[in-house]
Each structure stands twice: as structure tokens, then as C-alpha cells.
Amino acid sequence: MLSLRLLGPPQHLLHQHPLPIARRKSRALLYYLATHLDPHPRDHLLALLWPELDRPSAQQTLRTTLYGLRKALPDHLLITDTTLALAPTTEVDTRTFLTHTEAPLTQYPTPQLAIAALTQALTLYRGEFLEGFSLPDSAAYDDWQRTQAEQFRRLVIRGYTTLSQLHETQHAYRPALEALARALAFDPLQEDLQRAALRLHYLAGDRAGAIRRYDTLRKLLDEEMGVPPMRETRTLYDAIVNDDLPTPETKLPTTLLQPTAPRSNLLPPPPQAAAPTQSQLPFTGRHTELQTLRTAAAQHRLLLLEGEPGIGKTRLAEEFAQTSQALILTGTARELEQALPYQPLIEALRGLLHHPAWPSIHPRLNLSPVWLEETARLLPELLPQPNTPLPLHPGLPGLPNVSAESRLWEGLARFLLALAQHHPLIL
């Protein structure tokens, strides 16, 4: 039995014993095949691993690499004249991690079993994807590795956040705090998670601990960013100090990671303030600006609202969105949430999946599958089988020798243009 552990410093075990693989390119090929279920065309692997070689030289180098791997793994490589793959019996921690973290809760008879399953899956994350490994002479491989590392990092943060929420539904506030601490270890400046931790301290009867955490957060924000805590954080802190925080009703999430919901839905709800929300406030005194927005939007413009805090920018934007006939995709970027790459775009695209027009637009999108796959790197739910690892496409049509990030942006742009052909679109 071949076992590959890629979440952290890579390890390869054959029948539970370490399997040394000396050549770096051989290991790179093995790791790439391990993260993809489908066979890979040889031409694709040539461009990925030996971009500097001409085709005959690259083919010979691949044959030499495969010869060495077959000697080490005689029964675990599926080789044809045109494709390569690993045997499906190979144990790969990334596959197991994805399978268990995206499992529906309905398959577990009790919340305790769901907690146990998610806890076990999260222990597979020993560190960053392929930590300590690199392939300096292949920019495409480096881009792929970095993208995978970001995706798994995002998943493990969401996983621990959801585990915290699951513990909270059982009123197990200490384990909920421990899970949240693991999520915050990736970036302690994420104030939404810090607010959840403050609230859990209070619910656990540790008001002093909540006050100490707030003081630590305040100092950290001042030292790292030169800013005070957000208003929501200060409001929560005041409620804790005044012993005036209501105990919220907690509900069991329907899936472990809620892959189709915005990240904010994974967090315990903040305390409810008595003041109305922005959208509940009456809209007055900005009708000229609103008409300016509508005129500019009709001309396909990039719009920027700027002004001093508190003068009504958010309320104006909400009124514009609510009264527009366009398809509105909304994402939020906050200065203190830099650790989640592309999060505003992911949030905006997820909103599309819940729009009433999406089921009718989706089948009619005039978009090449390769560009849909690129967009799905941000939102796998766009694909018919969202859990399938995405291939890399070096040398995409019209974009030879460009980086993975450039391909991602090109795919996203083409996706939005295809969407706009069916419905006026505002991002």
C-alpha cells in the first residue's frame, strides 16, 4: 500500500515504511499525480515539469523519470502511451481531507459523530501543502503549488471555524474556543474570528478571559496595523463588560464546511444591536448621487464611492443595488482579512449561485470549459462535480507561457463577460 502525505512536509510510505525518492523531479511528478484523480496527458506533464526542454528531450527525460518511479512503485503507476495516473488504491491525505471536510452532516446520526469526523480530517493538516518542497526551474509548477497551498489553508481555517460552531451547538464552549484558537493561529488579525472567541469566553463563564483577549487584540491591531478594533468588536466588548450579552440560539449547520455559503455564515452570529441596519434606514438626501450612479452604470463604468466615514456611502450603494435591474454580485474586502486570498471575489461568485436567474443562465453560458475550470479554482461549485481536483493548463489558448494567476484572472474576466451577455451585470 502506497501512502502519500502532502499536507505538511511531504512523506511517502510503502507498506508503512518510508520510501526514499532521490530525484526532485520524480517527487514533483508523484505529488502532482497524487492530487488529481484523472489520468494526465503526457504533453501536459512535459510542459509542466520540463518547460525549458524541446519536446524530444523532455520526452526522454520523462521516460527516464518514469523508469525510476516504476522501480520504486511497480504496482502503483498507471501508464499508457498518452497518459499517466496513480492507482486509485493509493492513500493520499489531500483526497481524504477533502472527502471528509465536505461530507454532509445528514450522514452522521449525531452531532458528536460529525465532530469526530471533522476533527479527524483536520488532524491530517500537518502544515502547508508540500511544505519545504519546491521546483525552482518550473514557474508553472510553482504557481500550481502555491495555489493549492492557499486553497488548503483556506479550507483548514473554515474547518476549524465550523468545528468551533459544532461544539457550540453542544454548549461545549471550551472545545469551541480551542478549535477557534487553531483557526486564529493562521492569522490572529481576523477580527470576525476574534469576536467569536470573545463571545465564547463569555458563554464559558470566563468574562475576565474575554476582557484579556480584547486587550491583547487591541494592542496587536495597534502594533501591526495602527488601527483600533472595529466598531462591531467594541460593541461586543461593551456588552461583555456590562454583562449584557444575550445567549444566542445555536443551530446545527447542514454541512461541515458550508461550501456554498459565504464565509460569514460559518461564524457564530454577532450580538444583535438595537439600532436598525443600514438597509433599514430611510434613504434621504442622496437622490442626485443615486441618479449619477445609475447613469454611470448604464455606460459600463468603474465606479468609486469615496468620502469620510459615516456620511452614507454604504447606504447609497445598498439603495443603488436594491433598485437596480442588473444582476448584482457583492463581495466585501476588509483591511484586516488579508489572509484569505480572493475572498471578496469568492463571496461575490457564491452569491451568483443563489440568484434566481442562475439556473436559467448557467446552461446557456457561452464559455469554453477551460475558462470555466479557471474560474472554478475560486469556486469549485461552478463545476458539475465540485470535488474533482482541477487540472493545470500551461499554454492556454491565446495565453502561452503565462502564470497561473494571470490565467485565473483571464478566466474570471471571460466568465463575467459571458455572464453579462445574458443579463446586465454589476460586480
- 406 within a domain of the structure (yes/no): yes
Q: Are residues 243 and 310 in the same domain?
A: no
- 10 within a domain of the structure (yes/no): yes
Number of neighbouring beta carbons within 10 Å of residue 46: 19
Percent of the chain with pLDDT over 70: 80
Out of 245, 266, 287, a domain closes at 266
Owning domain of residue 283? 276-322
Model confidence pTM above 0.75: no
Q: Are residues 151 and 252 in the same domain?
A: yes
- 115 within a domain of the structure (yes/no): no
Which triple of cell numbers denotes residue 81?
502511451
Residues with Cβ < 8 Å from 132, sequence gap 6 or more? 9, 10
Q: Are residues 75 and 179 in the same domain?
A: no
**How far apart are alpha carbons 416 and 378 in whole angstroms?**
13
Residue 367 phi/psi, 5-degree rounding, is -145, 130
Q: Are residues 289 and 246 in the same domain?
A: no
Q: Are residues 183 and 293 in the same domain?
A: no
- 96 within a domain of the structure (yes/no): no
Mean pLDDT of 376-391: 63
Enclosing H/E stretch for 232: helix 231-241
pLDDT the model gives residue 422: 74
- 418 within a domain of the structure (yes/no): yes
Q: Are residues 146 and 260 in the same domain?
A: yes
Q: Are residues 335 and 420 in the same domain?
A: yes
pLDDT the model gives residue 277: 43
- 262 within a domain of the structure (yes/no): yes
Residue 329 · residue 349 · CB < 8 Å: yes
Q: Are residues 302 and 290 in the same domain?
A: yes
Which triple of cell numbers denotes residue 228?
483600533
Residue 340 has pLDDT above 70, yes or no: no
- 150 within a domain of the structure (yes/no): yes
Give the model's confidence band at 126: pLDDT under 50 very low, under 70 low, under 90 confident, else very high.
Answer: very high
Residues in a beta bridge with 17: 14
Residue 397 has pLDDT above 90, yes or no: no
Of the ranges 38-42, 245-249, 290-294, which one carries the lowest mean pLDDT score? 245-249
Name the residue with cell 466585501.
332
Percent of the chain with pLDDT over 90: 40
Q: Output the DSSP codes for 15-74.
A: TTEE-----HHHHHHHHHHHT-SS-EEHHHHHHHH-TTS-HHHHHHHHHHHHHHHHHH-T
For 169-185, the pLDDT digits (tens) are 899 999 999 999 999 99
Mean pLDDT of 382-394: 55
- 87 within a domain of the structure (yes/no): yes
Which triple of cell numbers denotes residue 4?
502519500
pLDDT the model gives residue 337: 46
Q: Are residues 239 and 163 in the same domain?
A: yes
**How far apart are alpha carbons 281 and 359 in whole angstroms?**
33
Q: Which residue has the higher pLDDT, 205 or 397?
A: 205
Out of 266, 284, 304, a domain closes at 266
Out of 266, 288, 310, a domain closes at 266
pLDDT the model gives residue 276: 40
Q: Are residues 354 and 332 in the same domain?
A: yes
CATH number of 61's domain:
1.10.10.10
pLDDT the model gives residue 245: 83
Q: Are residues 364 and 260 in the same domain?
A: no
Residues with Cβ < 8 Å from 215, sequence gap 6 or more? none
pLDDT the model gives residue 285: 57
> Closest by alpha carbon to 384, among 365, 411, 400?
365
Q: Output the DSSP codes for 75-134.
A: TTEEE-SSEEEE-TT-EEHHHHHHHHHT-BGGGSSSHHHHHHHHHHHHTT--SSBTTT--
Total domains in the fold of the chain: 4
Q: Are residues 312 and 342 in the same domain?
A: no
For 130-157, the pLDDT digits (tens) are 999 999 888 889 989 998 998 899 889 9
Which triple of cell numbers denotes residue 361?
443562465
**How far apart are alpha carbons 259 and 266 in whole angstroms?**
10
